[in-house]
Amino acid sequence: MTTELDWFKSSYSSNDGPDCVEVAISHPTIHIRDSKNKEGARLAFTGGAWSEFLEFAAGR
């Protein structure tokens, strides 16, 4: 059974710029893709791994 993901654009993405990231949350997985290439490569993280990445990216 395949469930359709509910994608939303990152609040850090601009509407007119080249850097657009979309996110979909499907517990327990966080999905990331390039909004300009919706059928392209996607990344998927567990909630814990995503939290660790965000802390690292924030420099904490």
pLDDT in tens, 13-58: 666 666 788 999 998 899 999 888 889 999 999 999 999 988 998 8
pLDDT of residue 59: 86
In a domain, 38, yes or no: yes
In a domain, 2, yes or no: no
Query: Which pTM was predicted?
Result: 0.74
pLDDT of residue 36: 85
d(C-alpha 57, C-alpha 23), whole Å = 17
Closest by Cα among 5, 3, 43 to 24: 5
In a domain, 15, yes or no: yes
In a domain, 22, yes or no: yes
Give me the domain span that covers residue 29.
Answer: 7-59
In a domain, 48, yes or no: yes
In a domain, 13, yes or no: yes
In a domain, 1, yes or no: no
- Residue 7 above 70 pLDDT? yes
